């Protein structure tokens, strides 16, 4: 875990074969969304709380020095000693010196992820100190010699048999596997530790500048004992936990327990400000004195992040781990693979900023960009966006792997070469049943993947079919320029044909600007911004020249890339930025545009049922573009289809661009669940609005349910239009 | 007489808002705190609390109690009642420090409840008030049924008026963990039972 020599692929396979982990995470992934929704049942406007919290944190990070100074002054005024540690080494030195000075021998700790981040326990033990974690989960993993695999439930990867084994070994007696009994064993053993400890070390869920208080939430009550019983209390708090006022704690506490464990509130919430009384026994007699309170504010990369326009967003993290609980990858492989110290997507980001970019590089590809996490994050952190950004930093510094770079520069940057290769691929693939490099080109970023057969490249790409299907429309209602995207152009040309049919049926003129190429998203996903920009500029020119009223795509990912990334990449090229913005304004996704047009034409009224169809929400359509009602309305309005919903209809199918191909072993279990959910609806057709999902789901259906057909919404609509 | 107990605020009531507070919020508070496994009893007068305590001592066979003083508890005459039942009751701070770890029951009072979450807010500045709520297997807390705030925002509104320094806690049910196989298990480091006695009558000095 600690080294950079991680072989993620081996680790993935190991975890996928770990039935205990798979079972625990699987059950949790099922239970969590229900528990969370229930916890929010008595909150009127959770969006307002999220906004309030986010705004408060943005204000704080923008004034971080001011609030850190105020926090320090407030705490000192009330008798605390405050030390600012620039990194783990400085913190450890201060702490060990303090232990020596105060004659501390025994330490009890309540949970502190910051102390995990800097491997504090090792250092304290090496200095001859007796250190005990008291959070049950943390204690278990310390006995096991593991790292936490979840920020809130550190031992979720272990079962009671394994834990009883660690207990038996530690206590040198047979501990049987009755959970309440095991908990009592832990209580008794750790109680002794609390009573004998000279020092308590706690983390902090928040630190209040106004009065120097720190706040802690726990269910077990160990943090109350850690902060009460020993004569010395040390708080380790990261800068990101600071808040200006006492009242600012309310919005944190309204979301943290609800998101973390589905509780309205944890059993205990504790705030400590300044020195508090403590009683110690001296010569057999109890005496009361002021407790020695030390607050260590840990930097370790946090202040640098605070001054980065993008990465300061991590200050909006409350460490609730909601993002892990909904992450399709985390819930398959757990935090030991997808994580370093901190787990999951947010963990990858924190790893890069607080540990090292090298550790991040090993795990960042595991984010599939589905954005389920963004939907539940209290602070609305754009986790996939930040991971993309970190990835592009790595590429900028170190470059892409040689082979990839070669393909990008020589093939992708030149549309004609790229498209010729794709045409060749359609011929080249015929005699072969197994893949070769050329075969995989439509999914070039998957180009490095070997162990999966991909859908065939179409015999005739869409661009060569355009002339045949284009109708002359007299007095067109609109002039629409179609942006096909690679998948529609070269793998699913029939989707493009369907788009033409539907639009022409609406009396619109459709044109296909020949010079269009890949939207650039795959390159950006790999972190290569320079080549992406070249392609983007060519697309912009091609569509400016089209002089259309509307630009339309049947791919939500391309759409979102045009809407957002095209503008974002030109932050320092204002002329191109303006041009991109102008086109973005005209750019529409197929289902939302057509449902609007149908509505205007009075065609969006529910029609009688027919063939059962279920709909899969693509991540980019649902969470990127906010489009999920429109495709359903279109299906409802088309005679001959009956829409039936499936379980987890908006959960990622596992494709996520290149991911599904590069990490087949993770992608396949996700896909399998998706196919099971589809089958359970009894639908004959699975409708999608995204060609990448279509590719993935088609692959899964072939194996598991060949009787079910996957179709793009455009096709379903076109099928019901008479020629 | 014991030394005066240290508090974050001597009179929390003065910080209570006029809105979003009152006995009308009790049913919602009851629902939420019961969901969190608090054992809640509501009585009209302080003296009625005696019966609850008598039954509890009988059922649990409690022999030793540590208690910090509060007007509500004094009005209920709990300490005298317990002693009459042959229970050892310790109320002196140093005695509490000595005996809390081995006591069967701890008794204290709390300042107000929060309907949104079913939590109660405890002023824990004094060391002994914390011990009686942390180390014992059963914690009994007294509160006034009228002192219920609507939500966490209101609660922090109150706290921000009185909290300069010291120790303030929310308690929401008993100590719990789900760290082994996510199985909810009660009573890990703190009390396994949290018993809340809400008294309707106003007692001079409030909860304090």
DSSP state string for B55-101? HHHHHHT--EEEE---HHHHHHTHHHHHHHTT-EEE-SHHHHHHHGG
Residues of A in contact with B31 (CB under 8 A): none
A240-252 in b/e form (b: 16+ CB < 10 A) is: bbbbbebbbbbbb
Residues with Cβ within 8 Å of A286's Cβ and at least 6 positions away in sequence, in order, are A279, A280, B94, B97, B98
Q: How far is A349 from chain B (nearest CA, A)?
A: 26
Q: How far is A223 from chain B (nearest CA, A)?
A: 9
Residues of A in contact with B180 (CB under 8 A): 136, 140, 155, 158, 160, 163, 179, 182-183
CA pair distance A296, A275, nearest whole angstrom: 15
Six token digits for residue A640 = 């001959």
A183·B126 Cβ contact <8 A: no
Read off the pLDDT of each residue in A22-49 and give the average, rounded to a whole number: 91
Which pLDDT tens digit goes with each residue over A94-118?
999 999 999 999 999 999 999 999 9
| Cβ contact A516:A543 at 8 Å | yes
Q: Which of A180, A246, A264 sits opposite B117 (nearest CB)?
A: A264
Closest CA to A145 of A129, A127, A169: A169
Q: How far is B118 from chain A (nearest CA, A)?
A: 8
CA pair distance A283, A102, nearest whole angstrom: 18
- Number of helical H runs and strand E runs in chain A: 36, 20
Read off the pLDDT of each residue in A590-616 and give the average, rounded to a whole number: 94
Q: Closest residue of B to A39, CA-based?
A: B117
Residues of B in contact with A268 (CB under 8 A): 169-172, 175, 190
What's the pTM?
0.86
Q: Which of A195, A228, A254 sits opposite B130 (nearest CB)?
A: A228
Read off the pLDDT of each residue in A49-61 and give the average, rounded to a whole number: 98
Residues with Cβ within 8 Å of A455's Cβ and at least 6 positions away in sequence, in order, are A491, A695, A698, A699
Q: Which of A219, A254, A278 sits opposite B176 (nearest CB)?
A: A219
Q: Say which DSSP state A673 is in.
A: H
Residues of A in contact with B187 (CB under 8 A): 183-184, 187
A269·B170 Cβ contact <8 A: yes
| Cβ contact A376:A346 at 8 Å | no
Six token digits for residue A714 = 């455009």
Q: Which of B97, B168, B189 sits opposite A220 (nearest CB)?
A: B189
CA pair distance A185, A304, nearest whole angstrom: 44
pLDDT at residue number A531: 80
Six token digits for residue A548 = 């259309």
**Could you identify the residue written with the tokens 């920009």?**
A533
| Cβ contact A168:A175 at 8 Å | yes
| Cβ contact A616:A687 at 8 Å | yes
A267·B118 Cβ contact <8 A: no
Read off the pLDDT of each residue in A339-368 and give the average, rounded to a whole number: 85
Side-chain-side CA neighbours of B108 within 13 Å: the count stands at 32
Name the more confident of A334 and A279. Answer: A279
- In this prediction, residue A412 has a pLDDT band, given cuts at 50, 70 and 90, of low
Q: Closest residue of B to A49, CA-based?
A: B153
pLDDT at residue number A524: 79
Lowest mean pLDDT among A21-25, A415-419, B72-76: A415-419
Cα–chain-centroid distance for residue A710?
27
| Cβ contact A553:A485 at 8 Å | yes
Element spanning A207, H or E:
strand A206-208
Q: Is the pLDDT of residue A164 over 60?
A: yes
Closest CA to A486 of A688, A664, A691, A658: A691
pLDDT at residue number A456: 67
Closest CA to A469 of A507, A496, A506: A496
DSSP of A289-322:
EE-EEEEEEE-TTHHHHHTSTTGGGGGG-----H
Q: By three-state DSSP, how is residue B110 classified?
A: coil
- In this prediction, residue A434 has a pLDDT band, given cuts at 50, 70 and 90, of very low
CA pair distance A477, A20, nearest whole angstrom: 60
Among A residues 195-224, those touching chain B with beta carbons less than 8 Å apart: 195, 210-213, 219-222, 224
| Cβ contact A354:A119 at 8 Å | no
Q: What is the bridge-based pairing of β-strands A587-589 and A550-553?
A: parallel
Bridge partner list, A589:
A553
User: Around Cβ A394, how many Cβ atoms within 10 Å?
Assistant: 17
pLDDT at residue number A439: 36
Mutate to test the interface with B, among A264, A278, A287, A289 (most CBs of B within 10 A): A264
CA pair distance A680, A645, nearest whole angstrom: 10
pLDDT at residue number A170: 94
CA pair distance A561, A568, nearest whole angstrom: 10
Domain positions in chain B are: 20-199
A135·B179 Cβ contact <8 A: yes
Closest CA to A498 of A274, A711, A690, A215: A711
Residues of B in contact with A276 (CB under 8 A): 125, 127, 166-167
Fold assignment, A595-719: Rossmann fold (3.40.50)
Per-residue pLDDT tens listing for chain B (208 residues): 455 789 999 999 999 999 999 999 999 999 999 999 999 999 999 999 999 999 999 999 999 999 998 888 888 899 999 999 999 999 999 999 999 999 999 999 999 999 999 999 999 999 999 999 999 999 999 999 999 999 999 999 999 999 999 999 999 999 999 999 989 999 999 999 999 999 999 887 654 4
- Rounded to the nearest 5 percent, the helix, strand and coil shares of chain A are 55, 15, 35
A224·B93 Cβ contact <8 A: no
pLDDT at residue number A450: 37
What CATH superfamily is the domain A45-298?
NagB/RpiA/CoA transferase-like (3.40.50.10420)
Count of A–B CB contacts within 8 Å?
Answer: 188
**Quick check: A643 contacting B, CB < 8 Å?**
no
**Could you identify the residue written with the tokens 């990490």?**
A663
B165·A78 Cβ contact <8 A: yes
pLDDT at residue number A421: 66
Q: How far is A84 from chain B (nearest CA, A)?
A: 21
Q: What is the bridge-based pairing of β-strands A285-290 and A277-282?
A: antiparallel
Six token digits for residue A580 = 């991109």
Closest CA to B129 of A71, A410, A278: A278
* Residue A303 dihedral angles phi and psi, to the nearest 5°: -70, -35
Domain positions in chain A are: 1-39+321-398, 45-298, 405-590, 595-719
Q: By three-state DSSP, how is residue A612 classified?
A: strand
Give Cα separations from A399 to A162, A368, A403 (angstroms): 44, 21, 11
Residues of B in contact with A194 (CB under 8 A): 189
Side-chain-side CA neighbours of B67 within 13 Å: the count stands at 25
A267·B182 Cβ contact <8 A: no
- The correct answer on CATH 3.40.50.300 for the domain covering B20-199 is no
| Cβ contact B141:B53 at 8 Å | no
A268·B170 Cβ contact <8 A: yes
CA pair distance B147, B13, nearest whole angstrom: 8
Mutate to test the interface with B, among A148, A184, A268 (most CBs of B within 10 A): A268
CA pair distance A48, B151, nearest whole angstrom: 15
Q: Which of A140, A245, A269 sits opposite B160 (nearest CB)?
A: A245
Q: Say which DSSP state B37 is in.
A: T
Mutate to test the interface with B, among A138, A219, A223, A243 (most CBs of B within 10 A): A219
Which pLDDT tens digit goes with each residue over A487-540?
898 889 999 999 999 999 999 999 999 989 888 887 777 777 888 888 899 999
A220·B157 Cβ contact <8 A: no
CA pair distance A648, A333, nearest whole angstrom: 19
For A381-432, give the secondary structure using H, E and C.
Answer: CCHHHHHHHHHHHHHHHHCCCHHHHHHHHHHHCCHHHHHHHHHHHHHHCCCC
Dihedral over alpha carbons A27, A31, A32, A35 (to 10 degrees): -160
Closest CA to A454 of A466, A468, A464, A444: A444
A704-720 in b/e form (b: 16+ CB < 10 A) is: eeeebbbbbbbbbbbee
Q: How far is B39 from chain A (nearest CA, A)?
A: 14
Q: Which of B98, B101, B188 sits opposite A183 (nearest CB)?
A: B188
Q: Closest residue of B to A148, CA-based?
A: B179
Which pLDDT tens digit goes with each residue over A625-646?
999 999 999 999 999 999 999 9
| Cβ contact B68:B128 at 8 Å | yes
Bridge partner list, A108:
A132, A200
Element spanning B144, H or E:
strand B138-144
Closest CA to A263 of B136, B141, B153, B174: B174
pLDDT at residue number A438: 32
């Amino acid at each position: 875990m600690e080294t950079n020599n991680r072989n993620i692929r081996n680790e993935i396979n190991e975890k996928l074969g770990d039935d205990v982990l798979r079972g625990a995470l699987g059950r949790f992934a099922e239970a969590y969304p229900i528990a969370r929704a229930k916890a929010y049942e008595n909150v009127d406007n959770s969006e307002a709380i999220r906004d309030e919290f986010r705004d408060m944190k943005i204000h704080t990070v923008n004034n971080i020095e001011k609030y850190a100074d105020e926090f320090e002054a407030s705490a000192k005024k009330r008798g605390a000693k405050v030390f600012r540690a620039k990194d783990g080494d400085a913190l450890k030195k201060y702490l060990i010196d303090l232990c020596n000075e105060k004659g501390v021998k025994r330490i009890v700790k309540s949970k502190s992820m910051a102390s995990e981040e800097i491997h504090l326990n090792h250092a304290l033990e090496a200095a001859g100190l007796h250190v005990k974690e008291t959070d049950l989960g943390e204690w278990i993993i310390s006995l096991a010699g593991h790292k936490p695999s979840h920020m809130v439930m550190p031992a979720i990867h272990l079962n009671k048999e394994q834990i009883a084994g660690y207990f038996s070994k530690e206590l040198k007696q047979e501990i049987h596997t009755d959970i309440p009994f095991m908990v009592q064993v832990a209580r008794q053993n750790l109680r002794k530790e609390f009573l004998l400890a000279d020092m308590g070390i706690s983390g902090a869920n928040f630190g209040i500048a106004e009065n120097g208080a720190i706040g802690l939430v726990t269910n077990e009550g160990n943090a109350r004992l850690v902060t009460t019983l020993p004569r010395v209390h040390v708080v380790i708090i990261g800068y990101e936990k600071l808040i200006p006022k006492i009242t600012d704690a309310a919005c944190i506490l309204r979301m943290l327990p609800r998101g973390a464990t589905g509780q309205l509130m944890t059993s205990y919430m504790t705030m400590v400000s300044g020195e508090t009384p403590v009683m110690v026994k001296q010569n057999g007699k109890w005496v009361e004195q002021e407790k020695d309170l030390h607050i260590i504010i840990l930097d370790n990369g946090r202040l640098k992040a605070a001054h980065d326009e993008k990465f300061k967003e991590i200050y909006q993290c409350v460490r609730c781990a909601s993002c892990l609980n909904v992450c399709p990858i985390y819930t398959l492989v757990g935090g030991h693979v997808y994580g370093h110290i901190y787990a999951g997507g947010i963990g990858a980001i924190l790893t890069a900023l607080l540990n090292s970019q090298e550790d991040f590089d090993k795990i960042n590809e595991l984010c599939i960009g589905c954005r389920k996490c963004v939907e539940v994050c209290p602070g609305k952190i754009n986790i996939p966006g930040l991971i993309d950004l970190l990835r592009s930093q790595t590429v900028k510094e170190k470059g892409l792997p040689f082979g990839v770079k070669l393909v990008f520069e020589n093939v992708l940057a030149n549309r004609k070469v790229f498209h010729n290769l794709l045409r060749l691929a359609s011929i080249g693939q015929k005699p072969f049943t197994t893949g070769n490099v050329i075969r995989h080109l439509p999914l070039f970023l998957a180009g490095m993947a070997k162990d999966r057969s991909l859908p065939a490249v179409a015999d005739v790409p869409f661009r060569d079919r355009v002339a045949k299907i284009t109708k002359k429309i007299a007095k067109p209602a609109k002039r629409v320029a179609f942006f096909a995207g690679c998948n529609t152009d070269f793998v699913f040309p029939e989707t493009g044909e369907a788009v033409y049919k539907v639009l022409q049926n609406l009396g619109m003129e459709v044109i296909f600007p020949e010079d269009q190429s890949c939207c650039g998203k795959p390159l950006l996903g790999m972190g290569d911004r320079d080549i992406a920009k070249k392609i983007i500029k060519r697309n912009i020119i091609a569509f400016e020249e089209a002089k259309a009223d509307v630009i339309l795509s049947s791919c939500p990912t391309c759409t979102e890339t045009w809407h957002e990334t095209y503008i974002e990449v030109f932050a320092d090229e204002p002329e191109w930025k303006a041009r991109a913005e102008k086109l973005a304004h005209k750019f529409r996704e197929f289902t939302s545009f057509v449902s609007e047009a149908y509505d205007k034409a009075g065609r969006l009224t529910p029609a009688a049922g027919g063939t059962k169809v279920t709909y899969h929400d693509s991540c980019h359509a649902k969470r990127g573009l906010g489009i999920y009602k429109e495709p359903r309305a279109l299906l409802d309005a088309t005679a001959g289809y009956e829409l039936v919903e499936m379980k987890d209809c908006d959960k990622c199918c596992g494709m996520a661009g290149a991911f599904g191909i590069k990490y087949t072993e993770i992608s396949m279990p996700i896909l399998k669940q998706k196919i099971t959910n589809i089958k359970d609806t009894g639908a004959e057709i699975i409708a999608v609005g995204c060609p990448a999902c279509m590719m993935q789901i088609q692959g899964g259906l072939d194996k598991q349910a060949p009787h079910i057909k996957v179709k793009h919404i455009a096709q379903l609509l076109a099928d019901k239009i008479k020629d | 007489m014991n030394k005066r107990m240290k508090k974050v605020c001597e009179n929390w009531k003065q910080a209570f808002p006029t809105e979003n507070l009152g006995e009308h919020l009790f049913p919602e508070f009851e629902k939420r705190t019961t969901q969190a496994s608090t054992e809640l009893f509501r009585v009209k007068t302080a003296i009625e609390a005696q019966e609850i305590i008598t039954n509890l001592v009988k059922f649990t066979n409690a022999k030793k109690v540590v208690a910090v003083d509060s007007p509500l508890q004094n009005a209920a005459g709990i300490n005298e009642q317990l002693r009459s039942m042959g229970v050892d009751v310790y109320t002196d701070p140093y005695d509490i420090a000595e005996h809390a770890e081995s006591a069967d029951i701890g008794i204290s009072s709390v300042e107000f409840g929060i309907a949104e979450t079913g939590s109660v807010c405890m002023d824990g500045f004094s060391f002994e008030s914390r011990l009686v709520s942390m180390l014992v297997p059963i914690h009994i807390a007294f509160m006034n049924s009228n002192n219920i705030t609507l939500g966490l925002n209101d609660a922090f509104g109150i706290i921000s008026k009185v909290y300069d320094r010291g120790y303030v806690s929310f308690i929401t049910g008993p100590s719990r963990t789900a760290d082994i196989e996510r199985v909810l298990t009660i009573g890990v480091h703190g009390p396994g039972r949290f018993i809340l006695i809400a008294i309707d009558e106003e007692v001079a000095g409030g909860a304090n």
